[in-house]
Chains A and B, each alone.
Chain A
Amino acid sequence: MSYQGKKNIPKITSDRLLIKGGRIVNDDQSFHADIYMEDGLIKQIGDNLIVPGGVKTIEANGKMVIPGGIDIHTHFQMPYRGTTTVDDFNQGSKAALAGGTTMIVDHVIPEPGTSLMEAYDQWRQWADEKTCCDYSLHVDITHWNDSVKQEVDNLIKEKGVNSFHVYMAYKDYYQMSNSELYEVFTFLAERGGIAQVHAENGEIIAEEQARMLQMGITGPEGHVLSRPEELEAEAVFRAITIASQTNCPLYVTRVMSKSAADIISQARKKGNVVFGEPITASLGTDGTHYWSKNWAKAASFVTSPPLSPDPTTPDYLNTLLSSGDLSVTGSAHCTFSVAQKAIGKDDFTQIPEGVNGVEERMALIWDKAVTTGKMDENMFVAVTSTNAAKILNLYPRKGRIAVGSDADLVIWDTDSIRTITAKTHNSAAEYNVFEGMELRGAPLVVICQGKIVLEDGNLHATSGVGRFIPCSPFPDFAYKRVKARKQLAVLRAVPRGMYDGPVSEFSMSRGGTPSASARTSPTKQPVRNLHQSGFSLAGNPAPCGPPTPDDVPIRPAGRRIVVPPGGRSNITSLS
């Protein structure tokens, strides 16, 4: 690293950066070129660039330069029953930068019953103060009514949120009914949002949890036993059905099991617009640790859906990620200290859920998928940043090295080998679910907003420099197909004459309350409505019209059509 020219004033010149001799890797191709950045933007790409003096130059020596990673799923500083996760936005985004991730997308989780907008403002405040890298926000919809609908509308139009997350698990808390999901998805499809789901069947989980506790299983193994992967797959299947019904793009967060991933890839083959997000933990480790004799270690793996006890799962998910059946990767980084996890020491259902992974994500995917030959470097870029940027409608500002894009870059060292351990990681948690894992591939230099934040293993993150990046609705990546289908999917009625035959009397009204907008009052009414009885007919049939000759086919004991006065209209005739 050297400084060109004579002036040596880092404060001014550090915004101007030149990377020489790097191999630029985008999701579609790789090529050799120099990159010149200024004011946090990529200004020039090419050979023999003409750059002003006082520019800091990095010699890449043929190493790969990739777009900085986007971690599309984090839970920094998440409030949980009066405490918060140990990694706040500062700690968390520092860990992200250390791993080569230059943007995170966090989840806003409003308490059910509280305003989405207030929660959003709260998260904005926390993040603006503390993050060291750019960020965006997903908003979780934890309850559904007309005012929530209004808030969602405002968030999309004014606040730069284009993705909303709903829960199919956490019964009686966050969980939504199928009808509510249908309404949320319908609304999001209209407004151009992405529907994210936490896919697990919460009702069955609640039943299974009760059964486990009854059997005396209280440790973390109960967590995975009560949430078998079938329940995840079932919910994914259901979410896809509803999304396809409402013609809404679907995004499945935390794909943790083979069967769930299979369902997603099948749906994609059938043409559904659905994206699957495996997380660092599901790509890197498995659920056998739930049976660890060390309670604290076992508890540190607790997350939902749980890691699959099937040890072939990570390999399988890496394969699907490489083939494109799964589209993006997140970390679902949501760490709790052992003391916090110990809230559930006598009851696994009380253990706060979440694992680490924001720092390890890029290196882990490189090690599991690229060094094994499952995917190439371009695909690596696609699943770590480009696809996420496309879904969030941030492409090509993020997720691509191109003139005009943000200067979020990573010089990737394919050969460096690191051993992951809680002793050296940047998270505040005492356990690392990847403890002892040796990973090949690591960031050598990380550039965020045009500034070097990691070099020579030293992190120079600045708290509060992270900007909120607004996401606009109707991302092309998801909505082009959806729009085309909308045009096709106009349903038409069959034009028929009026039916003028006789009509039976009937007494019970059936299925007359399809609207489910009221979570608060799903009171079912199987009581007969005795007031609503029978249709009033315009042409009352004569009680006993003389049967016409062609009405006579021998049908014993049967009711015949009574011929209405004025003759039988052909609409009811036997064809």
Chain B
Amino acid sequence: APDSHSTGMSTAGEVPAFFKSMGSDSPARPRQKFCGMFCPVEGSSDSKTLDFDALSACRGKSDGRVIDRQTDISQPRKVEIRESTGKEALQNLDDKRSDRLLIKGAKIVNDDQSFCADIYMEDGVIKQIGENLIVPGGVKTIDAHGGMLMPGGIDVHTRFQMPDRGMTAADDFYQGTKAALAGGTTMIIDHVIPEPGISLISAFEQWREWADSKSCCDYSLHVDITEWHKGIQEEMETLVKDHGVNSFLVYLAYKDIFQLTDSQVYEVFSVIRDLGAIAQVHAENGDIVAEEQRRILEQGITGPEGHVLSRPEEVEAEAVNRSVTVANQTNCPLYVTKVMSKSAADVIAQARKKGTVVYGEPITASLGTDGSHYWSKNWAKAAAYVTSPPLSPDPTTPDYLNSLLSCGDLQVTGSAHCPFNTAQRAVGKDDFSLIPEGVNGTEERMSIIWDKCVVTGKMDENQFVAVTSTNAAKIFNLYPRKGRIAVGSDADLVLWDPDLTKIISAKSHNSTVEYNIFEGTEVRGGPLVVISQGKIVLEEGNLHATEGSGRYVARKPFPDYVYKRIKARSRLAELRGVPRGLYDGPVCEVSVTPKTMTPASSAKTSPAKQPNQPVRNLHQSGFSLSGAQIDDNVPRRNTQRIVAPPGGRANITSLG
């Protein structure tokens, strides 16, 4: 390949030129113009990406074209990786030619269909898909033997290396992305949390620095809005325009720290809509949570069970409902992070039925376990489950959320991976409200969903791809570069073994924490081979992650998937006043100013509610009328009727 990995792709976020027009065209038309050295006939790959013959071949294995692949299989489900020249060492990932990878005989699973084909990758990009590909020599070949090959997972919500009161989340970007890769996730989107008072840009750059030096897979960043004033708005603009950020998170919880008021949320959402970004929301009513925390501490409940008792699921549902209302009002697309309870999920499902552009993100923990563990006698174990919103103590919750995920009412899955080790959790040993929050889940995410949804028949493999990667890529404008197996897409792939069974345990997981909240759960389904940026990073259970190889993936604003509807609605939503003549009747004198109009609340630092505002403003009294009447000041009796002004009654004030 002429352009090497370092020049062509690592300019973070620069999408190759042939990608620029992708996704906007209808799928019937050729998706790209490809003219590399391996392309014998122009356009030959186009038909191969959607080869419907291959589809049927996949269902009936007796088809001639597949048989020769099947005959020489000794162990049907095993995967063979071989070098065609036999010279290069397998793990020599820095070798130039190891960038060339061929996967033979895979069943390619996208979110819309599955079909059998071979895939050829080079320079971290999928170059060809089809049968009997013509590939150069020196290509490493993986024989998939009909195994499922799907786009690598995208974990839309991680908090690696998150600072919290001087501590840092136990998994940094290296440890975290390694765990992600081990579970079949090849891209993560992390949250930048600027301390209130700190510039968004500088926080963003801090996170870039951490991630660039440590991340083993591609990543992108959400930015959290933890306070609100004019400067923040400008920084958001800069982030969208120059830094490839298209999603911002606001908090309705964490009173007096991150929480924004409804007015502020309204303004943030309006700005986000104008910028073409996605509004994410941490939905919990922080005011009520604060009150409940106090009450529960007063009752002498200090253990982790207090965490869930002080954050009942109603409080989550209420905040979801409120943010949906504000989003509707501002015509802004909404994305609810961490859907943890049935009632919150119901609110989202209902809002979608009414047409709201809203997306819900359940996380590994809410899909895989419940909140009964908060009552564990083992403090350290109970504390390991502390996250916000909390896991619901209702044991039917995971099943319910999996059902909604399967039917499309919830769309994407994250992990909200933010574990702390026990010593860090113990900061809150005498007060549950001080326990640092966050659970693990980035490694377990794909397997848990496969086990809970696909094995149980709730969803098929295509929907599985949709909820683990494609929808996320569409919402955050990464599609089809990520989240799809197509010519021109990034070579982030997972060869999935639906029969692999594994028992999740802290002893064997890749995270650094002592507890795994899924401890002892047996899951069926797991990655056999993981390919990230065109390189094999997991095979035969061995992880070959390279620290710092992850690229920052920039995201453009106005994702079609989200904004097509928003744009159409904003065109319709023009309001018009009623043209009327001037009112020329009598007008009462007023002495007080009620409802003081101070709608702009762009100052979190000074929400001083002007303590005794309702003092009468005696200076501002009455309107000055052009046609003031003599009888204006005459006190009116009980049964007053409109007095006709001199010059006849204007019909505008007439009765009826």
Give which listed residue, A491, A521, A559, A574, contacts B423 with CB less than 8 A: A559
User: Are B433 and A86 in contact, with the CB atoms below 8 A?
Assistant: no
A526 touching B325, Cβ below 8 Å: no
Tell whether, in the assembled complex, residue A345 and residue B583 are in contact, meaning their CB atoms are under 8 Å apart.
yes
Q: Is the CB of B426 within 8 A of A501?
A: yes
| Neighbour of B609 across the interface among A80, A172, A242, A493, CB < 8 A | A172
B382 contacts A by Cβ under 8 Å:
yes
**With known contacts A231-B325, A506-B167, A575-B519, A201–B262 Cβ distance under 8 A:** yes
Cβ of B291 within 8 Å of any chain A Cβ, yes or no, is yes
B328 within 8 A of A: yes
Complex partner residue of A511 from B293, B381, B601, CB under 8 angstroms: B293
Interface centre among B226, B294, B589, B638 (most CB of A within 10 A): B638
Chain B residue nearest to A87 in the complex (CB): B638
Bound Cα distance from A261 to B257, whole angstroms: 35
Cross-interface CB contact of A204 among B166, B266, B581, B600, cutoff 8 Å: B266
Instruction: Kindly identify, within residues 352 to 396 of chain B, every residue whose CB is under 8 Å from any CB belonging to chain A.
Output: 375-382
Residue from A514, A528, A535 within 8 A of B294 (CB atoms): A514
Smallest CB separation, B340 vs chain A (Å): 16
Tell whether A230 pairs with B303 under 8 Å between CB atoms, given A172-B609, A339-B642, A527-B197: no
Q: Which residues of A contact B449 (CB under 8 A)?
A: none
1/0 per residue, CB under 8 A from A, across B248-265: the answer is 000000111100011100
Of the listed stretches A205-213, A273-281, A452-460, A474-482, chain B binds: A205-213
Contact residues, B512-539 vs A (CB, 8 A) = 512-515, 519
Cβ of B339 < 8 Å from any Cβ of A?
A: no
Q: Is A561 an interface residue (CB 8 A)?
A: yes
Q: How far is the CB of B565 from chain A (nearest CB, A)?
A: 17
| Contact A574:B506 (CB < 8 A) given known A173-B595, A207-B267, A237-B318 | yes
Tell me whether A367 is interfacial, beta carbon within 8 Å: no
Would you list which residues of chain B between 620 and 643 have a CB under 8 Å from chain A? 623, 632, 636, 638-642
CB-nearest residue of chain A to B576: A217
Whether A178 contacts B285 in the complex (CB less than 8 A), given A217-B577, A342-B588, comes out as yes
Q: Interface readout for B635-656 with A: 1 if CB under 8 Å, 0 if not?
A: 0101111100000000111111
Q: Are B301 and A241 in contact (CB under 8 A)?
A: no
CB–CB A507/B166 < 8 A: yes
Q: Does B434 contact A (CB under 8 A)?
A: yes
Q: Verify if B407 is at the interface (C-beta below 8 Å from A).
A: no
Within A163-196, which residues are at the interface with B (CB < 8 Å)? 170-173, 177-179, 182-183, 186
Whether the pair B507, A86 counts as a contact (CB closer than 8 A) is no
Bound together, the chains give a CA A428 to CA B637 distance in angstroms of 9
For B317, the closest partner residue in chain A by CB is A241
Residues of B within 8 A of A244 (CB): 314
Interface pair A295/B599, CB less than 8 Å apart: no
Which B residues are in CB contact (< 8 Å) with A349? 595, 597
> Known: A203-B263, A294-B654. Contact between A222 and B590, CB under 8 A?
no
Contact of B638 among A88, A492, A505 (CB under 8 A): A88
Binary contact track B306-344/A, C-beta < 8 Å → 1, others 0: 100100101101100110011011000000000000000
Q: Does B456 reach chain A (CB closer than 8 Å)? A: no
Q: Scoring A residues 209 to 227 as 1 if CB is less than 8 Å from chain B, else 0, what string do you get?
A: 1101001111101100100
Report the separation of the CA atoms of residues A141 and B381 in the bound assembly, to the nearest whole angstrom: 45
Q: How far is the CA of A293 from the CA of B580 in the complex (A)?
A: 6
Chain A nearest CB from B296 CB (Å) reads: 7
B322 touches A238 (CB 8 A): yes
Number of interface residues of B (CB under 8 A): 125
- Are A557 and B172 within 8 A (Cβ)? yes
The verdict on A234 contacting B325 (CB below 8 Å), with A493-B301, A508-B166, A555-B512 known, is yes
A487 to chain B, nearest CB (A): 15
What B residues does A222 contact at CB under 8 A? 577
* The one of A86, A216, A573 that contacts B640, using a Cβ cutoff of 8 Å: A86
Decide if B227 touches A338 in the complex (CB within 8 Å).
no
- Count of chain A residues near B, Cβ 8 A: 122
Q: 1/0 per position for A297-330, CB-CB distance to B under 8 A? A: 1100000000000000000000000000000000
In the complex the two chains form, is B653's CB within 8 Å of A295's CB?
yes
A228 contact set on B, CB distance < 8 A: 329
Residues A509-563 near B (CB distance < 8 A): 509-511, 513-516, 519-528, 533, 535, 553, 555-559, 561-562
How near does chain A come to B98, taking the closest CB pair, in angstroms? 25
CB distance from B329 to the nearest CB of A (A): 6
1/0 contact trace for B569-595 toward A, CB 8 Å? 000000111101101011111111111
Residue among B261, B300, B595, B623 making CB contact with A493, cutoff 8 Å: B300
List residues of B (183-232) whose CB comes within 8 Å of A's CBs.
Answer: 195-197, 226-227
Binds A, one of B107-115, B488-496, B610-618: B610-618
**Distance in Å from the Cβ of A149 to the closest Cβ of chain B?**
15
- Asked whether B382 lies within 8 Å of A494 as measured between CB atoms, the reply is yes
Q: Quick one: closest A residue to B640, CB to CB?
A: A337
Q: For the complex, what is the distance from the CA of A513 to the CA of B262, rounded to whole Å?
A: 20
User: Are A238 and B285 CB-contacts (below 8 A) given A493-B301, A559-B170?
Assistant: yes
Is the Cβ of A562 less than 8 Å from the Cβ of B423?
A: yes
Chain A: which residue is nearest B432 at the CB level?
A493
- Which of A173, A186, A245 is packed against the most chain B CB atoms within 10 Å? A245
- Please name all residues of chain A whose beta carbon is closer than 8 Å to the beta carbon of B266 when the two chains form the complex: 203-204, 207
Known: A237-B318, A349-B597. A230 touches B589 (CB 8 A): no
Q: How far is the CB of B636 from chain A (nearest CB, A)?
A: 7
CB proximity of A91 to chain B, nearest CB, Å: 5
Asked whether, in the complex, the Cβ of A494 is within 8 Å of the Cβ of B653, the reply is no
Q: Who on chain A is nearest to B423 by CB? A: A502
Which residues of the other chain, B, contact A238 by a CB distance below 8 angstroms?
Answer: 285, 318, 321-322
Known: A81-B594, A558-B512. A204 touches B325 (CB 8 A): yes
Once bound together, how far apart are the Cα atoms of A370 and B325, in whole Å? 35
In the complex, residue of chain B having the shortest beta-carbon distance to the beta carbon of A537: B426
Residues of A within 8 A of B578 (CB): 219, 221, 291-293, 298
Measured in the bound complex, the distance between the Cα atoms of B608 and A86 in whole Å is 36
Chain A positions within 8 Å of B300 at CB level = 493
A182 and B612 alpha carbons, distance in the complex (Å): 21
Is B427's CB within 8 Å of the partner chain A? yes
B82 within 8 A of A: no
CA distance A506 to B592 in the complex (A): 51
In the complex, whether B567 has a CB less than 8 A from a CB of chain A is no
A565 within 8 A of B: no
A86 to chain B, nearest CB (A): 7
Across the interface, do B291 and A81 meet the contact criterion of CB distance under 8 Å?
no
In the bound complex, do residue A179 and residue B291 qualify as a contact, i.e. CB atoms below 8 Å apart?
A: yes
Q: Is B596 an interface residue (CB 8 A)?
A: yes
Q: Which residues of A contact B426 (CB under 8 A)?
A: 499, 501-504
In the complex, which residues of chain A have a beta carbon less than 8 angstroms from the beta carbon of B20?
none
Q: Which chain A positions have C-beta within 8 A of B549?
A: none
Find out whether the CB atom of B294 lies under 8 angstroms from the CB atom of A515.
yes
Determine whether A340 belongs to the interface, using a CB cutoff of 8 Å to chain B.
Answer: yes
- Across the interface, name the chain A residue whose C-beta is closest to B287: A178
Alpha-carbon gap, A164 to B382, bound state (A): 41
A499 engages B585 (CB within 8 Å): no
Q: Does A343 contact B (CB under 8 A)?
A: yes
Q: CB-nearest residue of chain B relative to A422? A: B655
Task: Tell me whether B594 and A173 are in contact (CB under 8 A).
Answer: yes
Task: Say whether, besides A493-B300, A559-B421, A204 and B329 are in contact (CB < 8 Å).
Answer: yes
Question: Least Cβ distance of A512 to chain B in Å?
Answer: 8
Query: Quick one: closest B residue to A169, CB to CB?
Result: B595
B422 within 8 A of A: yes
29 contacts between A and B (CB under 8 A): A81-B591, A82-B590, A83-B589, A172-B613, A178-B285, A179-B290, A206-B263, A215-B577, A225-B575, A231-B329, A242-B288, A296-B585, A337-B588, A338-B653, A339-B642, A349-B597, A422-B655, A428-B638, A428-B640, A491-B309, A493-B300, A506-B436, A515-B294, A519-B611, A526-B256, A535-B430, A558-B175, A571-B380, A572-B380
A81-B592, A496-B303 are known contacts; what are 6 more A-B pairs with Cβ within 8 Å? Answer: A201-B262, A208-B329, A222-B577, A230-B328, A337-B640, A511-B433
Q: Which 5 A-B pairs have the closest CB atoms?
A: A558-B512, A514-B290, A178-B287, A526-B196, A82-B591
